[in-house]
Structures are given as C-alpha cells and as structure tokens.
Structure 1
Amino acid sequence: MKKFKKNILGSLLAFIWLGGTAMGIFFYKITYGFPVTYETEKPVIQFPSGQAAILVFSKTTGFRHGAAIAASKLVFQKIAQRNGWFLYYTEQGGVFNPEQLRQFKAVIFNNSTGRVLHDTQQQALSQYVAEGGVLLGIHGAGDNSHHWPWYENSLLGTRFSHHSLKPHLQKTVVHINSAGNTTLFKNLPCSWVHEDEWYVFFNQPQEAHIIAYINGNQIIPDGNWLWGTDKNFGMGSYHPVAWYRLVGKGKTFYTSMGHSKEVWQDQNFIHLVENALYWSIQ
C-alpha cells in the first residue's frame, strides 16, 4: 500500500513538473519565439504592369493564429480581386530586400509574430517605410514578441502589455472616430458589436490618428496567467483598437482586432481592413 501511494505521489509530481515545463515553454515562445530561421533567397515575382502590388506576410516564430491566418488569406484575395490589385502572399522573409520591396505599395504583417526578419531585412523594411512605403499590422503583429524597437515605435507608438483572458473572447461595441480621412471610414457604421481578443497596451499610442476605439471599462481586461502577476488593468474608457501613424515619408496602420477566423467574417472589420489598404496605395 505504501509503495502504491509512493508511486501515485511520484506520478503526480512528475505530471506537475511536466505541466510546469510545458507552460514555461509556452510562455517563452509567446514572448521570444523559437526556433528562428531566416530565409535569404529572393523569390521570383512577376509583377503585373498597371496593378498596385500588396505583400501579405504571415510568418510566425511566436504564437501562431493559424485559423485567422487561413481565413484572412481568402479575404485578402477577394479584396485584391475587387480592387484590381496584385496580391503576393508569403511566409518567406527573402522578399524583404530593397529591390523587391520598393515594388509593393503596401506590406501587411498579417498576425506575424516573433522575430521573423534578420538585421538586413529589418533595415530594408524600415528604409522602405522611411522612403514612402506603407506597413500595416493585424492583431498579433502588435504583440511583444518582435523585439525590434523601430518596428514597435513605428507601427504602434506604444507597447503591448497583455490581452483579455477571463473571458478570452469578449463582445463589445467598436466606435469609429470619423474625424479626418474619409477614405478610412468608407462603408463603416458609427459603431458595431464585435467579438475579439482585446489587446491592452501600456499607454495610448503616441502621435497616432485613432480610427476606432472601444470603451475599455466595458470589457474585463484581466490578463493574469499565474498567481503573482499584475495584469488586471485596462486602458480606460478610450481604448484605441485601430490607428495610423506617419513615419518619415511613409505611414503605418495597425488594428489590434483580428484574432480568430470568425473575425474575418465580420463585414465591418473587413471594410476597415479594405479601407486601410485603399488608403495605403493612394
């Protein structure tokens, strides 16, 4: 009997240790991403003449929003067809070279997480934006796994803290801040109910033009994973969820919405993304 109890206790401790190890690996991957490999070969791309070219980049080395990435691909294809744009979809970083980047009107980091580009490729993207290019980020593109100051400062103008967990997905009203560029608000209502994983940032995005926001007091922003963490705070009544910034001669657009495949069936969200793309190629 004693031996049986000892075996049970040993199995329980082993289970707890394995669970803790798995949780530790999970947190590490979310924050730092691994393994990291960099693609260096330039792809062969046939750019059609007379069509605006858009690069959709969905490489991940951190948390992967697989279902959302798959669903968004179909949405981007329909948007491109509707507007007569050329869409190049890839998860290979070799396209981030000056010669090919300058042929794109816009680059989308589509739920791209972790460190996905090496130093030379990062320099190529920052130069592309500084010289007049456009960088757009969707949801996971704004988390804290990228570890690239230029990217964080230029795309976000703030820093990611956590996202809602209790509950994970929550419905709330998205409000449109319709003062400003009318292109970005085409076909959008003044507000709509939307369900998503709501990102919380440490402060308001700096030097940003807010396009959409929620009332952060009407969601539960608790992002605590474990005892002892302090992530039970939000951004208050004015909680931006989509904005753009001017960077050098270029510009950036970011929306923290876009977590699940269901989000990519929300026509208002799709209009928001399409408007941002249309605005980016003007």
Structure 2
Amino acid sequence: MKRVLKIIAWTIFGLVISLFALGALFMYKVQNGFPVSYETEKPVLKLTANQPAILLFSKTTGFRHGESIDASKPIIQAMANKNGWTVYETEEGGVFNEEQLAQFKLVIFNNSTGRVLNDEQQTALEKYVENGGSLMGIHGAGDNSHHWDWYVANLLGTTFSHHPLNPQFQKAQVHLEASVDSSLQTKLPVTWEGNDEWYVFFDQPKDAQVVYYIDGEKILPSGNMLWMKDKNFGMGKHHPVAWHKTAGKGKTFYTSMGHSKEVWANPAYSNLIEQGILWSIAQ
C-alpha cells in the first residue's frame, strides 16, 4: 500500500513540475515569440487603380488573437467597400519591400505579435513610414513581443507592461480626449462602454495625441500571477487606450483595444477603427 501511495505521490509531483515548466515555457514564448520563419518572396499584388490601398497584416509568432483577427477582416473589408478602399490581406512578410510598400497608403498590424519581419523588411517599413506612409496597430501589435526599438518608439511611444488577470476582461467607460483632432472629434462618440483586456503600459505615450482613455482607477489592473509579483499597478486616472503620433513625414495610430471578437461587435469600436483609417490615409 505504501509503495502505491509513493508512486501516486511521485506521479502527482511530476505532473505539477511538468505543468509549471510548460507554463513557464508558454510565458517565455508569449514575451519572446515562437520559432520564426520569414517569407521573402514578393507577392503578386492586384490592387484596384485609383483607390487607396491598405495592407492588412495579421501574421503572429507570439500569442495569437485568432478570434479577433478573424472577426476584424470582414468588418474592415465592409469599411473598404463603403469608403472606396482596396484591402490586401496577408500573413506573408514578403510584401514588406520598398517597391511594394510604396503602393499602400496604410499598413495595419492587425494583432500581429512576436518577431514577424526580418531585418530588411523592418527597415523597409521604417523607411515607408518616415517617407510619408502610415502605420496602424491593433491591440496585440502593442505588446512587448516585437523586440524592435523603432517600432516601439514610433507606434507606441511607451512600453507594454501587462494586462489585468483577475478579472482579465472588464467593463469601462471610454472617454474622448478633449484635445483630439477636429477631424476625429466630430465623428467619434464622446463616451461609450467598452469590455476589453486593458493593456497597462509603463508610461504615458511620448509625443502622442491621445484619442481615447479610460479611468484606470476604476478597473482592477493587477497582472500578478505565480512568480510575477510586480505587476499590480495601473496607469492612473488617465489611462490611454487609443492615440496617434508622427514619425518623420509619416503617421502612426494605435489602439490597445481589440482582444476578442466581441469587441468588433461594438459599433463604437469599429467606428474608431474606421475613423483611424480615414485619419491615417488623409493627406
């Protein structure tokens, strides 16, 4: 009997150790990306003439927000049909070359996580934006898995820390920043209710115009779990959730909202994305 109990105890201990190791490996991969392959073959682009072209890029090598990515595509395509845009959807990085990027008015990192482009492709995107192109990032595009200094500085202007874990999703009133551009102010609701995974950043975004914010004192911001004991802080009363910046001659627009497919069902959120695109492609 003692032998059986000893075997059971060691089996349970082994399972606990294995689960802990798998959890640690998963957290490492979320922060540093999964094994990466880079696509370098240039695609054949079939873009409609005389329509602004948008590159919708959804490649992930870190955590994949699959349901949000899938929900976003038909909604953004419907916006394109309404506004006369052409959308080129891809998860292949070969399009990130100077010649082909020049054919787009806007590149959207649609919950793209991890290292998704090689050095040459990153440089091509940097030049594209700094020479007058636009870059938009949605939710996971702002986590800390990209390991790309230019991208963090010019899309975000701050560094991701964590997101709440208990509870992970929380309702909050989303408020329009009073100083937002008039082109956005007249087309965005002053306040609306969002239910999302609210990203926490270490600082307010530098050299950015905030578009929307929440009251960070009205959510539970702690991201502490297991060995992480220093993620129990938030961003205070003024917690930005959408903002834009300039980068050389170009523009960037980012929203930390957009974790789940349900977020895309909120008309106020989809309107934010539509107006963000319109702002991004405007001359």
Q: Which is further off, 149-158 or 183-192?
A: 183-192
Aligned pairs for 1:1-282 (under 5 A) are 1-227=1-227, 229-282=229-282
TM-score, normalised to structure 1, is: 0.98
Structure 2 gaps, min length 5: none
CA–CA distance in structure 2, aligned partners of residues 140 and 61 of structure 1: 11
Note closer, same or farther for the CA distance 1:164–1:144 as it changes in structure 2 (3 Å cut).
same
> For residue 248 of structure 1, what is the amino acid of its counterpart?
G
8 Å contact kept, 2:243–2:255 = yes
How far has the Cα of 1:132 moved from its partner? 0.2
| Paired residues, number | 282
How far has the Cα of 1:48 moved from its partner? 1.3
**CA deviation profile, 1:137-181 (whole Å, cap 9, x unmatched):** 000000000000000000000000000111000001000014242
How far has the Cα of 1:3 moved from its partner? 1.1
The runs of at least 4 consecutive aligned structure 1 residues that moved more than 3 Å come to none
8 Å contact kept, 2:180–2:210 = no
How far has the Cα of 1:206 moved from its partner? 0.3
8 Å contact kept, 1:223–1:231 = yes
CA–CA distance in structure 1, aligned partners of residues 29 and 185 of structure 2: 36
8 Å contact kept, 1:186–1:271 = no
Q: Please give the secondary structure, in 2, of the residue aligned with 1:18.
A: helix
How far has the Cα of 1:13 moved from its partner? 1.1
How far has the Cα of 1:130 moved from its partner? 0.4
**CA deviation profile, 1:175-227 (whole Å, cap 9, x unmatched):** 00142422223442210111000000000000000000000000000001214
> For residue 177 of structure 1, what is the amino acid of its counterpart?
E
Structure 1 gaps, min length 5: none
TM-score, normalised to structure 2, is: 0.98
> For residue 183 of structure 2, what is the amino acid of its counterpart?
T
**CA deviation profile, 1:37-81 (whole Å, cap 9, x unmatched):** 000000001121110000000000000000000000111111111
Q: Which is further off, 177-186 or 50-59?
A: 177-186
CA–CA distance in structure 1, aligned partners of residues 65 and 71 of structure 2: 10
